[in-house]
Amino acid sequence: MPELPEVETVRRGLEPFLVGRTISKVEQRRRDLRFPFPERFAARLEGRKIDAVGRRAKYLLLDLDNGAVLVMHLGMSGSFRIAGPAEQAPGRFHHARSRNAAHDHVVFHLTGGTSVTYNDPRRFGFMDLTMRSQLSENRFLRDLGIEPVGNELTPEAVARMCAQTRLNLKSFLLDQSKIAGLGNIYVCEALHRSGLSPDRIASTLVSATGRPSAKLVRLCDEIRNVLGEAISAGGSSLRDHQQVDGALGYFQHTFKVYDREGQPCSEPSCRGVVERRVHSGRSTFYCAKCQR
């Protein structure tokens, strides 16, 4: 499933093609994806101008000129394909986007001749419509925690959450109600950079008075660092993820531990080997020697 950097990369790719354009026609080719489409989905979008393209955690948000917001989730294999006079030139690591019409489920026709097609072979993605004034109560967004990029992720904020849990760090960081948008890849990478074991209990990073430890401060810094680097690299192209122009992200070429089971730890002073184990059905890659 695409994680925050991949979704942010898609957002940045869509933004110049969508903002300021009016949706002239919507082709809705199915009644549902992972969930049914909202009632009168196409009719409620047609004729509306797109004011902004945003992101909340792993969700894309299209703000429309009537105060409505189109909420979209890519699921496991969802992607967008842009076509028309403003179509981008192929990017680095370009791979052609899927043009199998059987998987083209929604086509947004925009003024100026551009079309944006949502393609999703596995149909785990979904779309919803809500009003901006009710966004915080939307069923998909209301229980999300703080954003890991920006100003919300502070050691003090994370310390307050850590002090109230007995979860291990891997489970704590994947809990979307605490920190929204983190996924398996970047949690593994951030924990390795921080020298912290995925099995360590999160509350051990907080002092008896509730203050964040130096290790928790470093973890927050490394979360921001790894996400920022991944966004700059266009995300990690594993399995289905590509950018809107067909380019593949290349952050996977800098992985320290993820998907490197049996390989030497990348820390120069460490002679450990990357191991793999399963936490709650998800593969965890880490070095038991330098992550404590």
Q: What is the pLDDT of residue 98?
A: 52
Q: Name the residues annotated as catalytic.
A: 2-3, 58, 282
CATH code at 69?
A: 3.20.190.10
Both 79 and 194 in one domain: the answer is no
| Tokens encoding 217 | 């401060």
Q: Which of 213, 208, 251, 223 is nearest to 146 (CA)?
A: 223
Local structure of 86: helix, strand or coil? coil
Q: Are 170 and 279 in contact (CB under 8 A)?
A: yes
Distant-in-sequence, close-in-space partners of 31: CB < 8 Å, separation ≥ 6: 37
Residue 28 placed within a domain: yes
Helix, coil or strand: residue 49: strand
Burial of 259 (0-12, 13-18, 19+ CB in 10 A): middle
- Domain end call among 77, 103, 137: 137
For residues 32 and 38, what is the distance between their CA atoms, to the nearest angstrom?
Answer: 9
Would you say residue 200 lies in a domain?
yes
Tell me the sheet residues that pair with 142.
none
- The pTM of this model reads 0.89
| pLDDT reported for residue 99 | 61
Neighbours of 262 (CB within 10 A): 8
The answer to whether residue 292 sits within a structural domain is no
44: left (phi over 0), alpha (psi -120 to 50) or beta: alpha
The candidate with the shortest Cα–Cα distance to 117, out of 84, 79, 157, is 79
Contact between residue 163 and residue 188 where contact means Cβ atoms under 8 Å apart:
no
Whichever domain contains 270, its CATH number is: 1.10.8.50
What are the two backbone dihedrals, phi and then psi, of residue 101, each rounded to the nearest 5 degrees?
-60, -25
Tell me which residue range forms the domain holding 127: 4-137
Instruction: Give the pLDDT of residue 250.
Output: 39
Q: Check if the beta carbon of residue 34 is closer than 8 Å to that of residue 157.
A: no
Straight-line distance from the first to the last Cα atom of the chain, in angstroms, rounded to the nearest whole number: 28
Are both 130 and 159 inside the same structural domain? no
**15: in domain:** yes
Query: In terms of domains, do 203 and 124 share one?
Result: no
Same domain as 172, residue 127: no
pLDDT averaged per 10 residues, the chain (length 292): 86 91 97 97 98 97 98 92 66 45 94 93 96 97 96 97 95 96 94 97 97 98 94 63 47 76 95 92 94 96
CA distance 197 to 220: 15
What is the pLDDT at residue 252? 52
d(CA 37, CA 58): 19
Domain count, the chain: 2
Distant-in-sequence, close-in-space partners of 210: CB < 8 Å, separation ≥ 6 = 159, 160, 163
Q: Answer yes or no: are the C-beta atoms of 235 and 55 closer than 8 Å.
A: no
* pLDDT at position 27: 98
Residues 123 and 164 in one domain: no
Whether 127 and 171 share a structural domain: no
Q: Is 148 among the domain residues?
A: no
Measured distance CA(238)–CA(247) in Å, rounded = 12
Instruction: Please tell me the predicted confidence (pLDDT) of residue 236.
Output: 60
Tokens of 156: 């003090």
Q: Are strands 115-119 and 23-28 parallel, antiparallel or unpaired?
A: unpaired
